[in-house]
């Protein structure tokens, strides 16, 4: 009886979530189908006729593939070094590497623009990625490649963004791997050479994790919008194409061409991302396969302190991860001085911070905006964490019941919101709310809805491996101790997933704090502006006033600091060796 009630509850939660997650997409799709008169299949077939579609698809596939490869190239050595040696402050290092992943894209874009402007170190050594003079200009001229500098900046920004994926997936496996395996393999014929060890040990052990991180990097680079808009202004990705034309999509009898663009592009994107998500899910399942693992501490202490080479790699990685953010911090204190037309100098001052705090240059000060952001983030957490946890535990329960196909289907379905364009979610929420309950528009917490839709998949991804790793015998052992039902659950289950739950919470809060698209696509009423919206407002203002730029950077710095703190907290709760995907 209890068992069937539990399954009934599981079915209800799963249905409610899938309904909430898929409804905006279905609403948007059916409206677009109505406006254009095309079925989704027809829209897909007509993609090559869409204005700018073919170019956007080519560019998207190219930048996403190169970004994913670059993420592996840059992230793998860092994860390797971080995972194999005993670092003094591994938690702090992990937190530092995690910060880029949850940075609002607009902050990241500003950081990279600062790193590539005419006063940057890169520019001084002749690498001009922005205005494409010097070596980069020569590269463009010789190869006929339009705007290589922008492309390079974009893929590095994507790799920076996704660096933590590689570290979070690969590093824990390495850290916990029994060193005896490597020693034993070295003694065998197959492991005598480096290639042999790579083929027979490292690839089987790390391959799924690397591919999983790479496919997620591909996915996030594929759906990138703000970074493309700022760093690669001459090119569109499918997402930026949809964002550009999405405003007038879905309106009957008006600008039907934009509906065609959004519908065709979203269908292509959906199919490609669904495939990428399927790969991610499969790889993550293989990644969760248990190897002979030992305690992280033991494995690390057996290998000892990092050699100089490892230190160089990890600290270079830290510099790469922190450079755009530190540049933004420094820029918050730099105020332009001088006369127009006769050159400028810069003074160091707190005026930018003061302007950001007072809110004179935006709809509100950073204090109020932060309060709004935190409120949204907490509300998002209250819904997304239990929902994601419950979904993950349902997937695991299905696996335990040997209903693997259903488990797999649900696993992929929970990732569905990541395959749907933010433009489609925005349009779908707008249409759905209009149809079902228009008064919701006056409800200040409406942006929480898309935040929940977009963050729940991450909770599932963090909690699922953790729940899978909880062994039944631990609950059985707790039962032997004559504890009541809740104590048994607490000691036999919860205490083993508490760490990942904190990680999932931090991730949810950070994503919600930095989330820009969904709050931006819905209704933008001044009194509900969040910190990321205030950053955007400031960045969009004409820069005659020398305080605009430092004020924007001050607001971005607050966002960065909060995010970093959240990850530092998460790291303190993360059990040793818990990767959990993030």
Partner 1 sequence: MKAAFVMVLIVLFGAPLAGCIEQTDSTEECVVLPAGHADDGVLRILTYDITALSDALTDEFTNNTGIEVEMIKVDDAGGILDQMMLTKEAQQADLMIGLDNTYLPTAIANCLLQAYDASAENISSSASSFYDGPLALPFDQGDVCLNYDEDALSEANMSVPTSLEQLTGEEWKGKVAFPSPVTSSPGRAFLVASVEYFDQQGNADAMAWWTDMVDNDAIITTGWTEAYETHYTGGYGEYTEGYIGDAWMTVSYCHSPGVEAYYAENYTHSTSLVLDHASFHQIEYAGIINGAAQIDGANQFMEFLLSNEVNVNMPENNLMYSVLEGTDLPETNGYRYHADVPSAVTTMTYEEIEENMDNWLDAWKTATEQA
Within positions 331 to 390, which residues make up the interface with partner 1, using CB under 8 A? Answer: 336, 339-341, 363
Q: Which of 247, 276, 219, 226 is nearest to 423 (CA)?
A: 247
- Give the Cα separation of 574 and 172 in Å (integer): 11
Contact segment (CB under 8 A) with partner 1 among 157-165, 200-208, 448-456, 523-531 equals 523-531
Whichever of 235 and 505 has its CB closer to partner 1, that residue is 235
The closest of 113, 219, 125, 122 to 157, measured between CA atoms, is 113
For residues 16 and 251, which CB has a smaller minimum distance to partner 1 in the complex? 251
When binding is defined by CB under 8 A, the residue of 91, 311, 408, 491 that contacts partner 1 is 408
* Nearest partner of 96 among 170, 164, 157, judged by Cα: 164
Angle at 198 between CA 192 and CA 201, to 5 degrees: 85
Alpha-carbon gap, residue 406 to 150, rounded angstroms:
44
The answer to whether 26 contacts partner 1 (rule: CB under 8 A) is yes
d(Cα 522, Cα 442) in Å, to the nearest integer? Answer: 12
Minimum distance from CB of 365 to partner 1 (Å)? 11
Q: Residues 62, 457: contact at Cβ < 8 Å?
A: no
Distance, in Å, from the CA atom of 38 to the CA atom of 499, rounded to the nearest integer, reads: 48
DSSP β-ladder status, 334-338 and 344-348: antiparallel
Pairwise CA distance, residues 357 & 360, whole Å: 8
Residue placing its CB nearer to partner 1 in the complex, 340 or 486: 340
195 binds partner 1 (CB under 8 A): no
Shortest distance in whole angstroms from residue 332 CB to partner 1:
12
DSSP 398-453: HHHTT-HHHHHHHHHHHTHHHHS-HHHHHHHHHHHHHHH-GGGGG-TTTTHHHHHH
Q: With CB under 8 A as the contact rule, which of the stretches 304-312, 410-418, 453-461, 559-567 interacts with partner 1? A: 410-418
Q: Which two tokens stand for residue 44?
A: 């897909």
Q: Shortest Cβ distance from residue 530 to partner 1 (Å)?
A: 14
Q: State which of positions 115-174 bind partner 1 (CB under 8 A).
A: 117, 130-131
Element (H, E) at 45: helix 40-45
Size of the site for partner 1 (CB under 8 A): 75
Map residues 67-106 to x or -, x wherever contact with partner 1 holds by CB under 8 A: ----------------------------------------
**Cβ distance to partner 1 smaller for residue 301 or 540:** 540
* Contact range with partner 1 by CB under 8 A, out of 57-65, 248-256, 458-466, 478-486: 248-256
Site string for partner 1, 250-269 (x = CB under 8 A): xxxxxx-xx--------x--
Least separation in angstroms between residue 529's CB and partner 1 is 9
Contact with partner 1 (CB under 8 A) among 97, 245, 353, 511: 245
Binding positions for partner 1, 424-453, rule CB under 8 A: 427, 430-431, 434, 438-439, 441-442
Q: What angle do CA 77, 82, 83 make, to 5 degrees?
A: 100
Using the rule CB under 8 A, give the single segment among 44-52, 74-82, 394-402, 562-570 that binds partner 1. Answer: 44-52
Residues in 541-570 that interact with partner 1 by CB under 8 A: 542-546, 549
Question: Rg of the Cα trace of the chain?
Answer: 24
Does the protein bind partner 1 through residue 18 (CB under 8 A)? no
Task: Tell me the closest approach of the beta carbon of residue 427 to partner 1, in angstroms.
Answer: 8
DSSP assignment, residue 541?
S
CA distances from 285 to 7, 8, 36, 412, 541 (A): 23, 26, 40, 12, 47
Of 99 and 267, the one with the shorter C-beta distance to partner 1 is 267
CB of 477 to partner 1, least distance (A): 35
Residue closer to partner 1 by CB (options 96, 539) is 539
Q: Does 56 bind partner 1 (CB under 8 A)?
A: no
Distance in Å from the first CA to the final CA of the chain:
37
Residues 270-299 that bind partner 1 (CB under 8 A): 270-271, 274-275, 277-278
- From the list 175-183, 196-204, 472-480, 518-526, the region that binds partner 1 by CB under 8 A is 518-526
Give the number of other CB atoms < 10 A from CB of residue 234: 9
Q: Judged by CB, which is closer to partner 1: 510, or 547? A: 547
- Closer to partner 1 by CB, 40 or 196: give it: 40
The tokens 């709760």 sit on which residue?
573
Stretch that binds partner 1, among 166-174, 318-326, 406-414, 479-487 (CB under 8 A): 406-414
What is the token pair recorded at 124? 């001084």
The phi, psi pair for 462, rounded to 5°, reads -80, -40
- The torsion angles phi and psi of 338, rounded to 5 degrees, stand at 125, -175
Out of 374, 412, 483, 568, the only residue in the binding site for partner 1 (CB under 8 A) is 412
* Window 101-120: residues binding partner 1 (CB under 8 A): 109-110, 113-114, 117
């Amino acid at each position: 009886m209890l068992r069937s009630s539990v399954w009934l509850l599981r079915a209800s939660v799963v249905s409610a979530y899938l309904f909430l997650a898929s409804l905006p997409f279905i609403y948007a799709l059916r409206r677009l189908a109505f406006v254009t008169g095309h079925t989704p299949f027809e829209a897909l077939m007509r993609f090559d006729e869409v204005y700018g579609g073919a170019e956007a698809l080519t560019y998207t596939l190219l930048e996403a593939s190169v970004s994913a490869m670059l993420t592996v190239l840059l992230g793998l050595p860092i994860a390797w070094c971080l995972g194999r040696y005993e670092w003094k402050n591994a938690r702090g290092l992990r937190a530092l590497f995690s910060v880029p992943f949850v940075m609002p894209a607009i902050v990241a874009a500003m950081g990279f623009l600062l790193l590539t402007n005419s006063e940057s170190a890169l520019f001084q050594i002749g690498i001009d990625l922005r205005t494409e003079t010097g070596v980069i200009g020569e590269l463009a001229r010789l190869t006929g490649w339009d705007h290589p500098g922008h492309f390079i900046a974009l893929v590095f920004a994507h790799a920076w963004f996704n660096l933590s994926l590689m570290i979070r997936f690969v590093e824990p496996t390495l850290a916990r791997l029994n060193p005896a395996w490597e020693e034993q393999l070295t003694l065998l014929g197959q492991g005598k050479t480096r290639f042999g060890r790579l083929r027979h040990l490292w690839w089987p052990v790390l391959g799924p994790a690397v591919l999983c991180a790479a496919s997620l990097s591909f996915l996030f680079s594929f759906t990138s919008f703000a970074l493309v808009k700022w760093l690669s202004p001459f090119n569109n990705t499918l997402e930026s194409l949809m964002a550009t034309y999405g405003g007038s999509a879905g309106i009957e009898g008006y600008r039907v061409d934009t509906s065609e663009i959004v519908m065709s592009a979203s269908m292509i994107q959906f199919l490609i991302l669904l495939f990428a998500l399927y790969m991610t899910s499969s790889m993550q399942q293989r990644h969760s396969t248990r190897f002979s693992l030992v305690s992280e501490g033991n494995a690390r202490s057996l290998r000892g302190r990092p050699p100089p080479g490892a230190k160089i790699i990890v600290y270079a990685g830290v510099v790469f991860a922190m450079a755009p953010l530190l540049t933004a911090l420094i820029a918050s204190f730099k105020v332009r001085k001088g006369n127009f037309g006769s050159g400028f100098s810069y003074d160091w001052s707190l005026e930018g911070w003061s302007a950001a705090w007072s809110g004179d240059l935006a709809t509100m000060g950073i204090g109020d905006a932060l309060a709004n952001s935190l409120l949204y983030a907490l509300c998002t957490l209250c819904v997304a964490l239990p929902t994601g946890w419950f979904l993950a535990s349902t997937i695991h329960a299905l696996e335990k019941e040997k209903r693997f196909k259903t488990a797999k289907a649900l696993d992929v379905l929970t990732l569905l919101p990541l395959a749907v364009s933010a433009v489609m979610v925005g349009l779908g929420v707008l249409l759905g709310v209009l149809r079902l309950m228009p008064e919701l528009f006056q409800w200040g917490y409406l942006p929480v809805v898309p935040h929940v839709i977009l963050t729940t998949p991450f909770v599932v991804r963090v909690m699922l491996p953790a729940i899978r790793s909880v062994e039944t015998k631990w609950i059985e052992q707790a039962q032997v101790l004559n504890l009541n039902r809740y104590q048994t659950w607490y000691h036999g289950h919860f205490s083993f997933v508490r760490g990942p739950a904190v990680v999932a919470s931090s991730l949810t809060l950070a994503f919600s704090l930095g989330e820009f698209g969904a709050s931006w696509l819905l209704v933008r009423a001044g009194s509900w502006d969040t910190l990321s919206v205030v950053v955007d407002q400031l960045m969009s203002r004409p820069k005659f006033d020398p305080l605009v730029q430092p004020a924007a950077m001050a607001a971005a710095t607050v966002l960065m600091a909060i995010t970093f703190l959240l990850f530092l907290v998460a790291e303190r709760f993360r059990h040793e060796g818990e990767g959990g995907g993030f």
